[in-house]
Amino acid sequence: MVYDFVYVESLDIFVAIFQEHSKHTLVRNSIIGKIASTLLLLAIAFSTHAKHVIDPIKFTISTKATHVGLNEEFQIDIQASYMYIPASTVFVFEGSNAFRLKLILPDGFEQTGGSFSDFSGAELSSTKPYVSYTVKGKFTRNSGDGIFQLLRSHRKADNQSTYIAVSQLKFHPDEGQELAMEDSSARVAATNATLSYIPYLTIAQLRAGVADTASAVFITDEGRYGLFRYNSSSAGADDGAMTLVAPGRRYERVYEGAVNVRWFGIVADGTNDQSAAIQKMLDNAKYRNVFFPKGTASYRIKTIRIWSNSTLTFEEGTVVEGMGTLSAAQKMMYMYDVSNINIKANGVVFKDKKASYTSGQQRHIFSMEGVANVILEGMAANDSGGDGFYVGSASVRKISENIKLINVSANNNRRQGLSITSIRNIDVINSTFTNTIGEGPQSGIDIEASNTLQRLEGIRIQNPVTGGNKGPGIVISPGVLAGTGYLIDINITNHIDDGSQFGLLAISVKNTLGGSVTIQNPIWKNAKLNGFVARNWGYRACAVMVINPSVINCNTAASTSPTASAAFYVHREAADNGDTHIGNIHIISPRISDTRATKLSTRAFSFKDWNSSNKILNCSILNPVKSGDYFPQNNMIVNAELTLSDSNKTMVHEIGNAGTMADHTYYRPLYINQTSTSGRNVVLGKVNAGWPEVTIEVRSPYNIYIVPNATDNIMPLAPTNGKWITSKVVGSRMRLRKTLDNTWTIVEMTGTWTVQP
């Protein structure tokens, strides 16, 4: 059967081009319907134009070879030529002078070189009237007629786009006969030349035998369109997607790369549950590279299991919506004891119906349990009955490995935006976790092992954004691994939190725990309470290094507590069970600012063990930085051995004309009398041995009296308990350290000081 394609195939070119420019589904459906119904007509007028639609580019495929033997290399030439077409003659779509090409090679042909590859393309004009490509290759076996089919589509075409035939080259390689055919009858003048053209059919027409003996057909059914080739050796069943059966013949879909879920009748209609159809496709090992095009509404699913070696790609703007009917342990997108999975979903939203779940915490959007080599990119995971993203253990692989979450987000989930419970090497890059509320800890990110078979190793979180969470922006809770000998390794860089309960919480380590926790360059702003909290972090746990943190406008809850209003809070609650001491928290170059008219950040640092009288050990505050014109005047440092340096002179206390105390509440490292107009006291409170050093410096010619508690002495100048020392000599300076419970020791002294008689 021979098909004339004078304008039929030209119209199809512009179906693809018009799709690219308009993206109007109704117009597209109308055009495809016309193709199916007018296959045999010699001329077709586009429905909205009186003039014929025509392709302004002429494509040819030819060769100089006159006789080709097996394994004999020869060259095929492909040329695209721009034709001047008067506007009064035909209608030409904008953009139709650009194209991409594919070449369907005959069975038995092997390409060995040349400049052409699939998706080669160009944009032609009167100043660039042609472009050419070459294909070099050879026939390695005689499989009958050798037909090369040149297909064209629009400028942005890929494997999911519609292509149509524009030229053919036919060989009998074993007989030396060659026939080159091109579309001159369609584009220059009508001739008697005909082409064994690929027929455009519906699936129903193909099954009815309309294809006759055609070696290839193009299916036009909405969502299932594509090129199918006759395969004499095929025994596959007709599945309506990849294999179609006509009387006595089987046709198999020609494609490269991903399979399109639309081919399988899976539709984004916003209503019907597609889970069974999607799962059936994913369960077939042949379909491990799958594409989900954007639909007119959402894909509705309940739960989907993803297998090893799978790549799922979702078109930007796609929405995948849960049915809101998950059982307590079901997940929407489920990966369990699998590996090598890549899900690309830039600008795609996955969401469930959180309001349907009033209890429970395991109904995650993406659950990765016992997985290895997984990449998730670009998607949002919202409104779950559990976590947006969960990384943990499975029955075989107890430690997930090598995971990347890139540009993902999670909003309004019930338990967490992201939970990491068992991992060896994870990168979370440029991702956002917001507005978690429902089931504790209700954080943006929760890093928390739940049993001793799990690990928290190689955790790298770069540029995370959290905010609006009922709990902390980030929680670090590795306590279950304490005493096991296993190390933790957590590095968080450039964290920004806005409006969570705390910016970051490190909590509950009750035994020896090696490794490292490093938080670099965080910005914690508008926290309901503190910017940073370390709660019940044992002194034998690995150091928590908080480097260059900024706390801005904390305590939006307006608490008057000396602890809840602090930018940084290291503590243990009265009900907390833990190690004998807490500590090993190090805060380096912190910035604290409060831009509100009424300052609510009333303390910079609070250290307090409410559970015991044991000291807080091995902590440091190094070189705070004043940001703007405000830094909290007060601190609360109770029973803490704390190294403090202040090279930026941020924590300087001006005595003025009121006198002051150096104790748990009013501690500053440096006390001066720059503005004093008479003698003033600095009273040394009854503080613990190992308390931070205190420096007193005379800057105006009035006495500063350093007064110890009645039970304390100042050695070696004043060995008698309660005796003060004094100086009014400008430049005199004394640095004191509490070395024993009743002794202050002079570490450094300059100038003139005298002892109370």
pLDDT for residue 376 is more than 80? yes
pTM (two decimals): 0.75
Segment 302-312 shows an average pLDDT of 98
The secondary structure of 703-740 as a DSSP string is -EEEE--TT-EEETTB-STT--EEE-STT-EEEEEEEE
pLDDT at 629: 80
With cut-offs at 50, 70 and 90, classify the pLDDT of residue 84: low
Spatial separation of the C-alpha atoms in residues 223 and 238, rounded to whole Å: 17
Tokens of 258: 């991903």
pLDDT digits over 39-74, tens only?
222 222 233 333 334 567 888 888 888 777 788 899
Longest CA pairwise span in the chain (Å): 128
Share of the chain above pLDDT 90, in %: 67
Spatial separation of the C-alpha atoms in residues 704 and 678, rounded to whole Å: 9
| Distance, C-alpha 666 to centroid of its chain | 45
For the ranges 31-35, 227-231, 463-467, 715-719, the lowest mean pLDDT is seen at: 31-35
Segment 632-636 shows an average pLDDT of 87
For the ranges 29-38, 70-79, 637-646, the lowest mean pLDDT is seen at: 29-38
pLDDT at 198: 66
Asked whether the domain spanning 265-471 has the same topology as the one spanning 53-193, the reply is no
With cut-offs at 50, 70 and 90, classify the pLDDT of residue 509: very high
With cut-offs at 50, 70 and 90, classify the pLDDT of residue 182: very low
pLDDT for residue 290 is more than 90? yes
Tokens of 241: 């997607």
199 upstream amide cis, omega within 30 of 0: no
Q: Candidates 1.10.10.10, 2.60.40.10, 3.40.50.740, 1.10.287.130; correct CATH number of 53-193?
A: 2.60.40.10
With cut-offs at 50, 70 and 90, classify the pLDDT of residue 342: very high
pLDDT at 28: 35
Segment 128-155 shows an average pLDDT of 85
pLDDT at 142: 75
Tokens of 744: 């202050």
pLDDT for residue 7 is more than 50? no
Spatial separation of the C-alpha atoms in residues 635 and 663, rounded to whole Å: 9
With cut-offs at 50, 70 and 90, classify the pLDDT of residue 163: confident
C-beta of residue 442 within 8 angstroms of C-beta of residue 470? yes
Domains in the chain: boundaries: 53-193, 265-471, 482-650, 660-755
CA angle 373, 374, 375 (to 5 degrees): 125
With a CB cutoff of 8 Å and minimum separation 6, the contacts of 647 are 623
pLDDT digits over 355-370, tens only?
999 999 999 999 999 9
With cut-offs at 50, 70 and 90, classify the pLDDT of residue 386: very high
pLDDT at 55: 65
More confident residue, 445 or 182: 445
Residue with token string 């002892």? 755
Q: Candidates 2.40.70.10, 3.40.50.1970, 2.40.160.20, 2.160.20.10; correct CATH number of 265-471?
A: 2.160.20.10
pLDDT for residue 188 is more than 60? no
Looking at residue 693, what DSSP letter applies?
P
Spatial separation of the C-alpha atoms in residues 304 and 306, rounded to whole Å: 6
Q: Give percent helix, percent strand, percent coil of the chain, each to the nearest 5.
A: 5, 40, 50
Residue with token string 């746990």? 541
Q: Which of 2-16, 70-84, 157-171, 580-594 has the highest mean pLDDT?
A: 580-594
With a CB cutoff of 8 Å and minimum separation 6, the contacts of 703 are 679, 680, 726, 727, 728
Spatial separation of the C-alpha atoms in residues 11 and 413, rounded to whole Å: 49
pLDDT for residue 553 is more than 60? yes
pLDDT digits over 672-711, tens only?
999 999 999 999 999 989 888 999 999 999 999 999 999 9
Q: Is 12 left (phi over 0), alpha (psi -120 to 50) or beta?
A: alpha
pLDDT for residue 15 is more than 90? no
pLDDT at 144: 66
Looking at residue 145, what DSSP letter applies?
-
pLDDT digits over 707-741, tens only?
999 999 999 999 999 999 999 999 999 999 999 99
Sheet containing strand 130-139, edge to edge, reads 57-62, 74-82, 130-139, 109-113
pLDDT for residue 212 is more than 90? no
For the ranges 151-165, 249-263, 295-309, 335-349, the lowest mean pLDDT is seen at: 151-165
Positions of E strands within 565-667: 566-572, 585-588, 591-593, 603-609, 616-622, 625-626, 634-637, 640-645, 652-654, 660-662
With cut-offs at 50, 70 and 90, classify the pLDDT of residue 106: confident
Segment 490-516 shows an average pLDDT of 98
Q: Which of 8-17, 206-215, 677-686 has the highest mean pLDDT?
A: 677-686
pLDDT digits over 420-462, tens only?
999 999 999 999 999 999 999 999 999 999 999 999 999 999 9
pLDDT at 89: 37
With cut-offs at 50, 70 and 90, classify the pLDDT of residue 145: low
pLDDT at 199: 74
Segment 248-263 shows an average pLDDT of 93
pLDDT at 87: 47
Q: Candidates 2.30.320, 2.60.120, 1.10.1060, 3.30.1600; correct CATH number of 660-755?
A: 2.60.120
Query: Which of helix, strand or coil describes residue 72?
Result: coil
C-beta of residue 568 within 8 angstroms of C-beta of residue 604? yes
Residue 591 to residues 461, 654, 678, 714, Cα–Cα distance (Å): 22, 20, 34, 34
With a CB cutoff of 8 Å and minimum separation 6, the contacts of 718 are 708, 724, 725, 755, 756
Segment 495-502 shows an average pLDDT of 98
pLDDT for residue 2 is more than 90? no
pLDDT at 81: 85
Query: For all residues of the chain together, what is the average pLDDT?
Result: 87
CA angle 332, 464, 449 (to 5 degrees): 60
